[in-house]
Structure 1
């Protein structure tokens, strides 16, 4: 484990407030999703269809990109292509400058975080108003999102209250959730309605109509994208679906997997800028289609990861994420999906810890609405890290020593018996301290092993 990753993990495990905040939100999401799936008899069939839709689009990406560009252009939108994060930010900044923008209202977008758009806007001297409530909290705290659906899930209400009192001109006077929400509403409304440019991501891009679909729970996308003179969309090229019918198929899975709802409160489709007969809407619409490593993922054995619809179900059910939260992962995307995506986006050498920070229990694949084989992809990164010699020498030597012992059954069984005997001397039922296992026992107790190994029980016919 690298020093930086180890430091982040240790800090997360030592933070009792973080554990409570993450477990509360993820646990609620897990329970609500289970209830929603139980009430959706066609769930497995819908998963299979959704995976097939995404695989089809990725296999024919060139065709659907051309179709989407033609349809969006016919509707009056301007379509731009960006190979890298820097190119995407440069396009957005150029559009903002051409519009004379001093303030932009931004609807929550993980793509914006991925390409570093908040930093690019700040460097260009453009004021950014985060209109999603959780993103607003994160902006005030000067932090990165810790979850792709609930960016501020690591914050308690007391911490949010302190931030609002520090930054809001008219903060809440009562320590209640409704009062804090009203404080945020007062603070954000002016920025939403007075922004020169509105920036959003896209949950789906409809190829045959050129429409852009956004899904939110607060209605902030509509307020921050319709009043400004210009609407800019930043979206990964994998967000395409062939038609509205295919988008509806994906929407049936997205809300249930993310929040346990049948449908998100606000599902909006934007097709071009304002037309002559429209009462409102932007005068111009720009859509920035971003590759940023996605073509390489498709060609390098990670095409299945491009199915991802960013629901967050994998991290809500991940035993590791629920212990350390999102910031410990260090990248834009946390949890199992982040452990696959970050090496592709930032390079394996810089993020080889993430695929190793996984128990491979398979729960993420079990709950994924588009059947991404996340454990298989994580094992693939581990194998590549080993082949390329990225694992530290101590690990390679340790595994070589284990392999030497494992190839000698009598010696292996003797070592197991000795380990069981030694470990049982340190505690009955639970071990609170153990030599060479301080990384575990520093933050939790270790279950003491049974008196006999599994192999001895198996040899006696026990099952």
Structure 2
């Protein structure tokens, strides 16, 4: 899978998403439910704008001094007997894990939910090794694995596109489950399968919400406890973390944990907030062999650029839960493991414009994502910046689309041409208009609407009715001119 989740074109993915009515309803319900929970949790905390400012300050400070904090973290892990590997690419990260699995002669590997492990495509690599089995232990990721490694569709809720009957059918086919589709019973089935695997696994792999620079510990937020088992049962632990997922001290981690839980799932705190590292001498469980892989994989492309603020992201998924575009096309429409507004900004940085250049245009630029972000990333402004880079700096927009934009630019910047267009738009678009009975006052009083517009109008008219413009003598400019003339009399 890796960063890209589909070989289809953006247009093909959108068409598939438009047909998936269940997904659209599921996403809409989730967005509405999360709005209530999220806003309630934030209100309960109080002074939310000030908390956001604090979160932004912490993240900006950390990114500004990223090399220093990464070095401090690495030194502290090493002092405790752990190992740190800086991976420039996904291939380097995978190779490190591969060599470790071969060295340990491990046969079973358990994983807790991690976007980074998905980003580097670690599951196919492990499954390609002789006699090695892998188990995703987050319930949603487990469901996707059982369904032939289906693609995730949300950062926090990966299987949001599936209903419980679909899950029951998957469990019946792959696990021999004979029960009903009640969530509690499905969860019990998954737990029975996972628990046995946990006890037999030699290696555990986790992600990292935040790494604590001054202690060398990692911080994980979960609701199922699977990450704690992944850390404590296997003798060897591997942590994969994006290089930006670091904070100076425990104090800053506690602030960000508060922001994360309330923004991601609408809780005061997640059920498990874990700080962990290599097993201490006085502990009864925990990893005896501890490895942290710090991954770049394109993140440094954002450093020192207009896109640096995207590295502030704490992966709460809040921007997805307010985005009108995500509401209609779901996660699979983006073709990246990072969907929604954050994915539309981050994916082109990590994977390039050639692969993800359409995503910055998959936005209404309403700014809801920016308003809800707990660390104040200006997401809609970064989407505009991507468009600017592609259009002005890289000259990627060409052909008929570019020609249309140039014509529109010339016409709207010239008073004479604009006035000429206003005088003929009613008649010209009349050829495309379709009559319709008036149901709302003044909606179609000028002779119908356009539902199959040409060229750049097509994207709009595919999903909305475009009313035919008024006659030149009845448009706003004419009305205003007459109105002002009447005031002088």
Whether the TM-score (by the shorter chain) exceeds 0.5 is: yes
1:411 equivalent to 2:420? Answer: yes
The residue aligned with 1:266 is 272
Alignment of 1:338-349 (within 5 A): 338-349=343-354
Alignment of 1:187-198 (within 5 A): 187-198=193-204
CA RMSD of aligned residues (A): 2.2
CA contact (8 A) 1:51 1:370 kept: yes
1:446 equivalent to 2:453? Answer: no
1:154 equivalent to 2:161? Answer: yes
CA contact (8 A) 1:51 1:371 kept: yes
Q: Distance in 2 between matches of 1:139 and 1:281?
A: 26
CA contact (8 A) 1:227 1:282 kept: yes
Shift of 1:214: 0.7
The residue aligned with 2:295 is 290
The residue aligned with 1:354 is 359
Shift of 1:400: 1.1
* TM-score, normalisation: structure 1: 0.93
Structure 1: which 5+ runs fail to align? none
Q: Deviations over 1:123-182 (max 9, x none)?
A: 23431100000001111222221111000011111111111111114x141231111111
CA contact (8 A) 2:434 2:451 kept: no
The residue aligned with 1:164 is 171
1:375 equivalent to 2:380? Answer: yes
Q: Distance in 2 between matches of 1:449 and 1:40?
A: 49
* TM-score, normalisation: structure 2: 0.88
The residue aligned with 1:216 is 222
Shift of 1:223: 1.5
Q: Distance in 1 between matches of 2:355 and 2:216?
A: 37
1:254 equivalent to 2:260? Answer: yes
Shift of 1:447: 5.8
Shift of 1:299: 2.6
Shift of 1:381: 0.9
Distance 1:435 1:458, change over 3 A: same
The residue aligned with 1:394 is 400
Q: Deviations over 1:105-137 (max 9, x none)?
A: 000000111111112212234311000000011
Q: Distance in 2 between matches of 1:151 and 1:456?
A: 54
The residue aligned with 1:321 is 326
Structure 2: which 5+ runs fail to align? 1-6, 485-489
Among 22, 26, 31, the residue aligned to 1:21: 26
Alignment of 1:5-20 (within 5 A): 5-20=10-25
Among 208, 232, 235, the residue aligned to 1:229: 235
Q: Distance in 1 between matches of 2:275 and 2:424?
A: 63
CA contact (8 A) 1:405 1:411 kept: no
Q: Deviations over 1:362-407 (max 9, x none)?
A: 0000000000011111111111111222224111011011122212
CA contact (8 A) 1:252 1:263 kept: yes
Q: Deviations over 1:252-295 (max 9, x none)?
A: 11011111111111110112x22232111121110001111122
Q: Distance in 1 between matches of 2:129 and 2:397?
A: 40
SS at match of 2:113: coil
CA contact (8 A) 1:107 1:199 kept: yes
Q: Distance in 2 between matches of 1:234 and 1:453?
A: 60
Shift of 1:250: 0.5
Among 101, 104, 123, the residue aligned to 1:96: 101
1:114 equivalent to 2:122? Answer: no
Distance 1:416 1:202, change over 3 A: farther
